[in-house]
Structure 1
Amino acid sequence: MNNEGPAANGGLHLIPFRGLRYVPERVGSLAAVTSPPYDVVVRPDGLHHLESADPHNIVRLILPQAASPADRHRQAAETLTRWLSDGVLAADPEPALYVYEQRKGDLLQRGVIGALALSEPSDGIVLPHEDVMPEVVADRAALMRTTAANLEPLLLTYRSGGELSGTSAVIERTILGPPVIATTTEDGFSHRLWSVTDAGELSRIRDDLSHRQALIADGHHRWATYLRLRAEHTGSPGPWDYGLVLLIDTARYPLQVRAIHRLLRRLPIADALSALDGSFRVRGLDVSLEQAIGTLAEAAAEGNAFLLAGDGRFHLVDRPDPELLSGTVPRGRPEAWRTLDATVLHATLLDHIWRVPDTPDHITYIHDTRAAVTQAERDGGTAVLMHPVPEEVVRELAREGVTMPRKSTSFGPKPATGLVLRSLALD
């Protein structure tokens, strides 16, 4: 690794690394060893499905199963070491940046994977937009510390003027050649990966990104983990000063922004609904999930709105009492933050009306809408379905240094985990 510090003008500093990749001959298929990011896997169903897809599926590293956290992290490290020793994973011969493409139907996304120099939010280089849960950061840090590896990239976005130059021009030239990885996962997405090692092309990417600012689209907990581990490794610059990321120019490849839903595991929906009497308008909807989501979108255009599920039907919750909001939503924040659905959900509904603690025992965050509904009906809880926040609102709040309630947004498509890993021991 080139251990020079961040670019002098304070922009993004992305450097090549020797990627760890699966050896195709040693696994059933590349698709069978990949996984969604660790926090998107719907456990336990999705975890068991992925584990059974191939004995070398990446979930055995990102979500190891053992009796205690220490055992889980140690097991992941031992598994990684064994797979390297057995030739299941191998390091590329020279450092590279990686052009990554995802495609499904009309949806096309391309970006660059590399090791990014870490920076603090106050530097204004990489902007977080959500709060994090300390216990999740602690767990991810322990896993990363024990394995000495970045097992999956964060998803960062930046915006160029949309012109075909700099990084985007390198990407378009690179995809004309043969990829080092090409596979299609069971969700219908095709994935292709190219290695960029040419000094001239690497220089063009470096110069183009040196004045860019990025937004964390997905991976706030992993970014906080990077910063924590960097603080533990003080002294001369080294591999812990960088973290694995995928950078997407959303001026050329706009991301989809979806909501992240809440499963209130210990709150029966009958209790949730009765507690809302007089505080919100509640309407029952005997319609399909798709129709209910459409009704939610219409209501959300007028103000705060949520869908509750868990009893076989949907309940639209909207038109909150203005005095209730005034007395429960914290002041001293921008109006765009105070009117967010996630803000009202946490400050007014969870904290004040339902009194549900924001802990894993009480709240599960689920990206898939149908999965949230199914689990609520199966477990006797309440699913709170959210409407997504527009990307421009997210970016503007981040620029103002204002973080949204955690798990407020889900940008996608997310990179598949398992296509390329970064070993800090190699760097």
Structure 2
Amino acid sequence: MRIYPFRALRYDTSKVALEQVVTQPYDKISPAMQQAYYDASPYNLIRVILGKKFDTDTEAGPNVYTRAADSLKEWRKEAILEEESEPAVYGYAQRYTVPGTTEVRERRGFICLGHLYDYAEKVVYRHEQTLSKPKSDRLNLFKATRTYCEQIYMLYSDPSFSVEKLIFGNATGHVTTPPDQSVTDEYGVVHMLWKVTDPQILNLVVGAMGDKKLIIADGHHRYETSTAYARERAAELGVSDTTKSFESPSNRADEGHAQLPTPPFPEAAMMMTLVNMDAPGITILPTHRLVVGLKDFSVAAFLERAKPYFEIEKLDVAAKSSGTTDEESLESANELLAPLNATEGVAMIAATAEGNYLLKANAEAISKALSNISEKQRQLDVVQLHALVLEQLLGLTQESIRNQENLRYLRSASDAVAKVASGEANVAFLIKPVTLDQLRDVSLALDVMPQKSTDFYPKLLSGLAFYALD
């Protein structure tokens, strides 16, 4: 994997408070969060990555994309955003409490530019399907702003922790050196940055990443959008060898310093945060499924259809959320999920208005029912849920699932069960999270999982660094 140090644009914290201008990733921002970000500061990144739309908007402009570009231009003019004086990569650590527990973890990675490869080159691998609408939106925004304001989250394997040692000075554990920048987000996650500018260290980091393959953790739509645009720009520029560096004044060798690598043209790379999947600190949360709008849904009929494929056990516990404190709701959800988490192999809980049921997979029967799916995929809980339970047992089509006509996604088990109890949903399916080993195996086998198969926590904060192409 080719990576590049870069001269980032960054907020001038002598003029703005960082906590008032950074945001969660665009696809995790609710309308209420959007308004809160708007209210926080006139320089909040929300005006760029997810601006408000108005009835007077036109395709030619003004519109949400032209306003985003105007905001960035004005912020640079006012020196709210300033370009770094020298190329760097940025050590990035996130200290957080694992949701549903009291365990504190620290996930470490680093922000850099990463070269854009087609999947066929087998350097970058995906693990989830994508949809066309989000890609079209991100492409329109990128063409208008010519700036990456958010990083995508990539995983690599480095059991020797060579990069961590170079950037953080140690292999694992909490970083003891005070960060150059620190901010706490609305979820209580502490985000810390260390700028690394020593050319010798930078070239060692580049070299250490040279033989690595990457797996996209979060950011499939943005990666595919950027890769398609890089191909388009390469054709326009007549560039046939996209691995050859161009002469960048910002990365030229100073006296006594080595030349730093640069992309062959600006669009050939995008901003990424790279995280070593062999290091501690990575958390993947489950995303539970809520089935809604089914006519004449019968719990008894569903369980009867499920019997050939699952060992079914009715549970005595139930989750509560309405009318309880956060602590009581969390305790209740953990109690409900305990039998699921204690079950080896594929299992799920079907939460219905008539009770909650633990479904333990019959591997042989399910293997026959899903014989058209690769062996690695059909061993995954989320694939069995989608391909067997949702499609075959409940009759949902792949198109309706993609369009979320009868399917909703929730992180909270207690909220999912409460919606079933209130009659807002027919049934909720509570599942275990995909493991890192499963994700690695499926991705490197060139398979893809259903959408929202993984929920990496915490999310990368947007607005810590920008990559401006112009």
Q: Same fold (TM over 0.5)?
A: yes
Distance 1:350 1:65 in 2: 35
Gaps in structure 1 of 5+ consecutive residues: 1-11
- Superposed displacement of residue 344, structure 1: 2.2
Q: Answer with 189-198 or 74-83: which moved more.
A: 74-83
8 Å Cα contact 1:111/1:171 also seen in 2: no
User: What is the one-letter code of the residue matched to 2:33?
Assistant: G
Question: Which of 393, 397, 409 is residue 438 of structure 2 equivalent to?
Answer: 393
- Superposed displacement of residue 73, structure 1: 2.6
- Superposed displacement of residue 35, structure 1: 2.1
Structure 1 residues 354 and 129, CA, compared in 2 at 3 Å: closer, same or farther?
same
The within-5 A match list for 1:59-208 is 59-67=46-54, 71-104=63-96, 106-163=104-161, 165-172=162-169, 179-208=179-208
**Alignment pair present for 1:279 and 2:319:** no
2:32 match: 45
**Alignment pair present for 1:380 and 2:447:** no
- Superposed displacement of residue 419, structure 1: 1.1
1:217 match: 217
2:18 match: 30
The within-5 A match list for 1:314-353 is 315-316=356-357, 318-319=359-360, 325=366, 329=370, 331-334=372-375, 336-352=376-392, 353=394
- Superposed displacement of residue 375, structure 1: 7.1
SS at match of 1:276: helix
**Alignment pair present for 1:413 and 2:410:** no
- Superposed displacement of residue 274, structure 1: 6.0
2:322 match: none
- Superposed displacement of residue 232, structure 1: 2.1
Question: Which of 398, 404, 409 is residue 449 of structure 2 equivalent to?
Answer: 404
Structure 1 residues 322 and 401, CA, compared in 2 at 3 Å: closer, same or farther?
closer
Distance 1:275 1:72 in 2: 48
Distance 2:46 2:419 in 1: 21
Q: Residue by residue, what CA displacement relative to the aligned partner does 1:99-143 show, whole Å, maximum 9, x if unpaired?
A: 111113631122110010111223222221122122222222222
Structure 1 residues 376 and 77, CA, compared in 2 at 3 Å: closer, same or farther?
farther
Q: Answer with 139-148 or 381-390: which moved more.
A: 381-390
Distance 2:14 2:446 in 1: 47
SS at match of 1:405: coil
User: What is the one-letter code of the residue matched to 2:23?
Assistant: S
**Alignment pair present for 1:258 and 2:301:** no
8 Å Cα contact 1:307/1:386 also seen in 2: no
Distance 2:363 2:164 in 1: 48
1:6 match: none
Larger radius of gyration, structure 1 or 2?
2
User: What is the one-letter code of the residue matched to 2:4?
Assistant: I
Gaps in structure 2 of 5+ consecutive residues: 98-103, 240-263, 307-311, 320-331
Count residues in correspondence.
Answer: 406
- Superposed displacement of residue 337, structure 1: 0.5
Structure 1 residues 51 and 209, CA, compared in 2 at 3 Å: closer, same or farther?
same
8 Å Cα contact 1:389/1:409 also seen in 2: yes
- Superposed displacement of residue 308, structure 1: 3.8
1:3 match: none
Distance 1:272 1:45 in 2: 36
- Superposed displacement of residue 361, structure 1: 5.1
1:8 match: none
- Superposed displacement of residue 193, structure 1: 1.0
Structure 1 residues 383 and 167, CA, compared in 2 at 3 Å: closer, same or farther?
same
RMSD: 3.2
Distance 1:394 1:80 in 2: 37
User: What is the one-letter code of the residue matched to 2:305?
Assistant: S
Identity of aligned residues (%): 26
Q: Residue by residue, what CA displacement relative to the aligned partner does 1:249-294 show, whole Å, maximum 9, x if unpaired?
A: 23233411212233445458x8374662412247464242222222
- Superposed displacement of residue 230, structure 1: 1.3
8 Å Cα contact 2:340/2:347 also seen in 1: no
SS at match of 1:385: strand
User: What is the one-letter code of the residue matched to 1:32?
Assistant: Q
TM-score w.r.t. the length of structure 2 is: 0.76
User: What is the one-letter code of the residue matched to 1:251?
Assistant: D
8 Å Cα contact 1:32/1:54 also seen in 2: yes
Distance 2:452 2:293 in 1: 19
Structure 1 residues 196 and 304, CA, compared in 2 at 3 Å: closer, same or farther?
same
TM-score w.r.t. the length of structure 1 is: 0.83
8 Å Cα contact 1:167/1:204 also seen in 2: no
- Superposed displacement of residue 242, structure 1: 0.5
1:5 match: none
